[in-house]
Amino acid sequence: MKSYMRNIFISISFFIMILSFEILPSTKFSKFGLTNITLLPKVLAESGNYYLQQTYEAFKKEDYGSIIFYGEKGIEYYRKRKETKSPEYVSLLTFVGLAKMESGNFLGAIENFEESILISPDSYGYSLLGSAKEKAKDFEGAIEALTKSIEAYKGSDNKMILDLFKRRGFARLQHGEYKGAIDDYSEAIKIIPDASFYMLRGYSKFLTGDFRGNCEDIFMAEKIGTLDQNLINKVKEDYKCLLFE
C-alpha cells in the first residue's frame, strides 16, 4: 500500500512541478509575445494535470466532495482522449474510489476500483476493492478480492500481509467460512501473536463445534494479558471454559 501510494505521490509531484513552470509571471511570457495571461487558467483547467493536481490537493485535506468533483472531471478528460491506460488515469480512479468509500458510496467505489484493477492489477488495488466490498456487506466478493491481493503481494512488509490475513479472516467469519477464518487468524498469529487474533480464532473454532479449541485460544489471549481481564472472565464463563482448565 505504502509503495503504491508513494508512486502516486511521485507521479503527482512531477506533474505539479510541470505546472509550476507553466504558471510563470507575465514578464516571462511577454518576451514570447504572450501577454494575455488571463487565458492561461482556462487552458490549465482543460488539462488532465490540472484535475490531477486539484484532486491531490483535496486528498491532502480529506475533502471528499472536491476529490470526487475534480477526480471525475479528470477521469472524463482522459476518457474523451482515450488515454485510459495512463498511470494518471489510474491514480484518479483510485482517489475517487477512496473518496466514495469514505463518503459511504460503496458501490461507486467498487466500480472505480474494479476499473483500475483492469488497467493495473496489483495487490493494493485488490486490497481497496476488498475493503469496499466488505463495507458493502458483499463478504464473498471481499474474500475473492483479498485472496487476489494476498496472491499478488510481492513485498516483505509483514504489517501489510498481516492486515490482509486479518481482514480476510473477518470476511470469512462474516460469510460463514469458519475453517477458512481459523486458517487466516492462524497465519496472523504467526506474524504477531495478538490476543484479539486468538479470541477471533477461538470464536471461529466455537462455531465449528470445537469448544475445547475455543477455550484454549481464550486461555492464550488471557496469558498475553493485553485484554481487559473482566472481559476475559465473562467470555470464559459464557463458553464454560472452566471445564477445560
- Half-sphere exposure (Cβ direction) of 179: Cα atoms closer than 13 Å: 1
Q: Say yes or no to pLDDT of 193 above 80.
A: yes
Asked whether residue 139 is assigned to any structural domain, the reply reads: no
Residue 112 lies in a domain: yes
167 inside domain: no
Higher pLDDT, 109 or 6: 109
Is 139 exposed, middle or buried (CB count within 10 Å of its CB: 0-12, 13-18, 19+)? buried
CATH number at residue 27: 1.25.40.10
Q: What average pLDDT score do residues 32-38 get?
A: 36
DSSP secondary structure of 33-47: T---GGGHHHHHHTS
Residue 40 lies in domain: 1-120
DSSP state of 234: H
How far are the Cα atoms of 109, 122, 132 from residue 102, in angstroms, in the given order? Answer: 9, 21, 9
171 occurs within a structural domain: no
CB-CB contact of 120 with 129 (8 Å)? no
Q: What is the pLDDT of residue 47?
A: 86
Return the SS3 of 151.
Answer: helix
**Would you say 188 and 166 are in contact if contact means Cβ atoms under 8 Å apart?**
yes
Rounded to two decimals, the pTM is 0.81
Long-range contacts of 228-237 (CB under 8 A, 24+ apart): 235/199
How many domains is the chain built from?
1
Identify the band that residue 40 occupies on the pLDDT scale cut at 50, 70 and 90: very low
Q: What is the pLDDT of residue 45?
A: 55
Q: Give pLDDT, residue 44.
A: 55
Residue 25 has pLDDT above 80, yes or no: no
Per-residue pLDDT at 38: 42
Would residue 9 count as lying in a domain?
A: yes
In a domain, 169, yes or no: no
Structure confidence by residue, pLDDT tens digits, 71-124 = 999 999 999 999 999 999 999 999 999 999 999 999 999 999 999 999 999 999
Domain assignment present for residue 8? The answer is yes
Burial 203-226 (b: 16+ CB within 10 A, else e): bbbbeeebbebbbbbbbbbbeeee
Beta carbons within 10 angstroms of residue 35's beta carbon: 9
- Does 31 fall in a domain? yes
pLDDT above 90 covers a percentage of the chain that reads 79
The answer to whether 131 touches 143, Cβ cutoff 8 Å, is: no
